[in-house]
Each structure stands twice: as structure tokens, then as C-alpha cells.
Structure 1
Amino acid sequence: MSAEPQSILSVGAILGEGPVWVERDAAVWFVDIKSHRVHRFDPATGEARSWDAPGQVGWVLPTDDGLFAAGLQTGVHRFDPADGSFTLLHAPEAHLPGNRLNDATVDPEGGLWFGSMDDAEEQEIGRFYRLHKGEVVESGLPAVSITNGPALSADGRTIYHTDTLGRKIWRTRIAQDGALSDTSLFVEIEDGAGYPDGPVVDAEGCLWTGLFAGWSARRYDPDGRLMREVRFPVANITKITFGGPDLTTAYATTARKGLDATALTEQPLAGDLFAFDPGVAGLPGHIATI
């Protein structure tokens, strides 16, 4: 695997997002939010498969019943790939029909952390939630227009949450009882470098973030210092995940959203799924208990 990102699956996603390595079937799962599609890619065989979702779908993550949780505009659903069905489980923002769910992760206890956002990308009404064993709790973190992440440290005691339009990634401590405290600014992306999109933490405790309109993904050390920037041949890098048998391959989703005809001609790989050698392993994923 090259250190330079290579397109491995041409899907032309309008808004590719939410890549996750699902160990139980050794595949990368991701979504195209605006096309209402769920994708699965097996890197060993090159086989790809897709499902239609009943609305904008921000992510799919494996659950302890062998199925998936899916974040749609209307709430958290159970997704069964066998028949392609989506069943609504929780609608935490039924009172905000202009919002949608956008990004998510799972903690070591099986808790599913997810964020919402204003689909018009204007009002600061996006919030973070935790779903565990049937109970949804609002995190209390400040509302922003576009949430991304969250991402969690290996021990599950630090949560990184992104204010995309504000170009800031924040860090908050999680106590043993689940209470959040000691929020501090982790990284602020400089003007002109793009917008921080989906974050993920690697096995060395460093945080990676995709940069929408920034042509790159970046790696920051635990103190927020920039360690590496991986350049892409497309502008909109949304999120990476670590996969493969030893979790040493990085898979990245990208997007065509916001690109005009000229930009699309100059970026024929925009919206594809990419892979590269990150030079570090990722953390094993967790299974959600919803």
C-alpha cells in the first residue's frame, strides 16, 4: 500500500462519509448521505455492494445483534443488510425536522455517540447524544451548526468533538460515571486550510481529521501539534478509518458536494473511496449495544 492515497472504489459519492472497518465481515462500510446510499467494500476481493436508505443516512455502525445502527435524518434506525430494511428506534430530534444525524462512534461500553446538524448548515442547533441499551441522553456539549465526530481515545475517557463551520476540534474528559468536564480547544484549523470533518484516533493516541475543501487529511499528536498532512487529488476529504487484518490501512471517503462542473472535470476521482498507508495502526472498533 502506497503512502499516497489511491482510489480503490469509484462510486462518485455526492457526500461520502462515515467509513468504518467492520471486523466481523472484514469490509469497509460507508455512506453517501445525499444519495441515500449505504456501501460495503471488501478489499480482499474487490467486491462492492450498495443499499438504498429511506432518507439521508450519515453513518452505519455494527451492533451486538449482528446488524447495524444507522443514523438517518429522522433518527437512529436498525439496518438489516439481509433485506435492506431500516426500522426507526429513536428520534431524539423529532421536533427539529430540519436537522439530520451526521457522524458517530462507539465507546468501549457499547455506547453509541452521535451528532446532529442543521441540514441547511445555518443555525447552531446541532447537538451530541449517547445511546446505550435503549436510552438516549443529550451530552450537554455546546450546540453548533455542523457536528462531526465524536472520536474517542483508546480508554474511552476523552471525547473529541468537531465544530466544522467554526473550524475547531474540542476535547472533553469523560468521568467514570459518564459525566463530561474540562472542555478545551484541541485544534483550530487555520483560515484557508479547509474545514475539519470526521475525526478518528489511532493506536498512538493521535487524532486524524479529514479536511473538507482542504485537499488533505491531517494527523495531530495528543497535544494538538500537527504531525503529518496527507495530500489527496480531490478537495473534499470527509473521514478516514483504519482497516485490514492489522488495522494498518487507512480508508478515506470523499465528496463531490459543492464542486462545480469545472472542478469536477479537474477532480475526476472526487467522491471515490481511497486507501493509503498511514504509517501507524488504528484502534479496534467497538460494537454498539443499542
Structure 2
Amino acid sequence: MTRGCAARTTISSTPAGAEAVGSEPHLVLAVGATLGEGPVWVPRDNALWFVDIKSRHVHRFDPASGDAKRWDAPGEIGWVLPASDGGFVAGVADGLYRFEPEGEGFAKLRDAEPHLPDNRLNDAATDRQGRIWFGSMDNGEELRTGKLYRFEDGIVVDSGLAPVTITNGPAIAPDGGTLYAVDTMGKQIHAHTIAHDGTLSDGRCFIAFDDSVKGNPDGAICDSQGGVWVAFYGGWAVRRYDSSGTLTHQIDFPVANITKIALGGEDGCDAYATTARKGLNDAELAQQPLAGHLFHFRVDIPGIPVTSANVKP
């Protein structure tokens, strides 16, 4: 289903032609996450939600008040997404859960990969129909056992894409017709056409990064003009590519491990980036005292409001 990336795009750490956006990233919440991930702006409460996978925490941050809350998850948690009937759907290591922050906490909905106990869930997004697209990965980051799935009508469906070691994204284009799947260890992003019934076709190479690019592509989202924002783990940066795969913006960070951004706020142009301490030794942590914290910067193209997930019991 996916054609190989024969020609690999070379992008330096300070690429020519990459524009600056509205502001430099700055610290907004000190959480010291081991592996911060999955930021999502939830309009119904005007707050950012994100997770710390390895510490098994869910975080909520209200930028207007500065208020921050934290919940414990029942396992390593890759993401939370708002549900259409209230509450959230959460991707925990062993499956999908309902998460009720003000109620009973976590309740399991479905197993994901009971035949792969060494896998865990990693990243997710909703499409315009409210389907959840989510990926798995080898928790040891070695085996090619990570798969992409969709959760629809209470059922987990294999997308049919070939397995990779670490899935990331996926990012959904604003018209709902294209899914961008990130192969983190392969340093590639592939685009796929989404049919109305959720099947994927016409897999093609969107971007492949050669070894001159610092770090590995991590979480990805699309903005309202179809640009794809990609965070780079170990790469000290977040980059935006237009729908043709051309680099348009680069945001440099004071920490190495950027995992994903969310776009939200009143005008959709507030960007929030999660980061990670995982993989940094003592010397690196001393040089990066802000590693694992939450950052904010402004962009010039608004994001896409998240579609709440349709969930059946």
C-alpha cells in the first residue's frame, strides 16, 4: 500500500527558506515529564490536555488562569481525546479506555493488541467523522510491531498499513481526505487517501529525512491550510511543511526532545509543545534544565478545532 521513499529530503538544522513565526518558544508549565506527549486543545473547556507516558499521568493546563491538574492513569498512557458525549477516550498501553476526570476515572472500552503484550499505544487523532486513528509501537523500540488502527462504532480496525517500530501522528488534513503517518525510526512520513468508509489507499512518500537531519520525526498535526507540523525527538526543533512537502517554518527549542504540538487558543494560533527527559543522561539534563516541560509559541496559521470522538459503549 505504501511506495518506498527512494529520494530522501535533506534538511539541515537551520534550513534556508524556513521562516520565523510569531514568537520564540517559552516555558509555560514546569512538569518535568519523562515523556510528555499527546497535547490537544479542547475548546469546550478552553484548556490544553496532554500526557506523560512513562510517568502514567494525564495533565490539564488552563493558560488563562495558569491552573494545572494531574490524574494518574492505569498504565503507560499515550493520549487522551475528547469524547462527543463528554469525558475523554484514552489510549493506555493495553487498550482504549473511557476517562472521566470528574467522575470514576478510567474504564476499559476495548483491548488493542492482546497478542502483542510488549507493544503499547503511542499517538492518535480524530478525523472529521469522529473516528479515532491511533498507533502502537514496540515498547522496547526495536521490533517492527507497531501498527496503525482506527476506532469506529466501538470496534478496533487494522488500517492495513505495514508495521513499523514506532508509529507517530497520525495527522489528518483539514478536508479530512488525507492521513499522514509518521514512521519515527525510519525517518519517513507517508500520506494516504482516506475513503469515506475509512479505508486507506494511494500510499505515497510525503517526506523522508536523511541522516543530516537532527533527531527523528515524532508527533505531527495539520493546520487549517493543510500544513503539517512535525516535532523532532532529539532534533531541538519543530518544523512545518506545506502540502507539497516543502519546509516553510522552523521553531528552535532550548531542549532536544520535542514530541508534539497542539494549536488552539482563542484564535487557533497558540502553539503548545510537549517535551521529554527520556534518553538524556545527567550531563545532558544539566545542560537542558527545561527538558520535559511544556512550551508555548505563536504561529501565523491557525489550527483545526479537534473533532470529538464518537464512542459507543
Normalising TM by the smaller chain, what interval?
over 0.9
Structure 1 residue runs of 4+, over 4 Å off? none
> How far is 1:220 from its partner?
0.3
Aligned position for 1:77: 97
1:253-290 per-residue CA deviation (whole Å, 9 max, x = no partner) reads 00000000011111010000000012211011100012
Match status 1:95 vs 2:115:
yes
Aligned position for 1:154: 174
1:37-86 per-residue CA deviation (whole Å, 9 max, x = no partner) reads 00000000000000011110000000012110000111000001013611
The partner residue of 2:57 within 31, 37, 44 is: 37
TM-score by length of structure 2 reads 0.91
Identity of aligned residues (%): 54
Say if 2:81 and 2:90, in contact at 8 Å, map to a contact too: yes
* 1:105-184 alignment, distance < 5 Å: 105-184=125-204
Match status 1:208 vs 2:229:
yes
Match status 1:278 vs 2:299:
yes
The partner residue of 1:234 within 255, 270, 273 is: 255
Unpaired segments ≥5 residues, structure 2: 1-20
Unpaired segments ≥5 residues, structure 1: none
Say if 1:171 and 1:186, in contact at 8 Å, map to a contact too: yes
Local SS of the residue matching 1:109: coil
Match status 1:256 vs 2:292:
no
> How far is 1:190 from its partner?
2.6
Aligned position for 2:37: 17
The partner residue of 1:47 within 49, 58, 67 is: 67
Say if 1:51 and 1:84, in contact at 8 Å, map to a contact too: no
Distance in 1 between the 2:45 and 2:63 partners? 11
> How far is 1:2 from its partner?
5.6
Aligned position for 2:7: none
Distance in 2 between the 1:48 and 1:15 partners? 18
Say if 1:208 and 1:220, in contact at 8 Å, map to a contact too: yes
Local SS of the residue matching 1:19: strand
Q: Please tell me the root mean square deviation across aligned C-alpha atoms, in Å.
A: 1.1
1:111-152 per-residue CA deviation (whole Å, 9 max, x = no partner) reads 011000000001101101111121211100110000001110
> How far is 1:206 from its partner?
0.5
The number of equivalent residue pairs is 290
Distance in 1 between the 2:70 and 2:292 partners? 15
Local SS of the residue matching 2:284: helix
Aligned position for 1:26: 46
Distance in 1 between the 2:284 and 2:169 partners? 27
Distance in 1 between the 2:108 and 2:293 partners? 29
Local SS of the residue matching 1:187: strand
- Letter matched to residue 261 of structure 1: D
Local SS of the residue matching 1:24: helix
> How far is 1:179 from its partner?
2.1
Sort the Cα spacing of 1:24 and 1:2 in 2 relative to 1 into closer, same or farther, 3 A: same
Say if 2:168 and 2:219, in contact at 8 Å, map to a contact too: yes
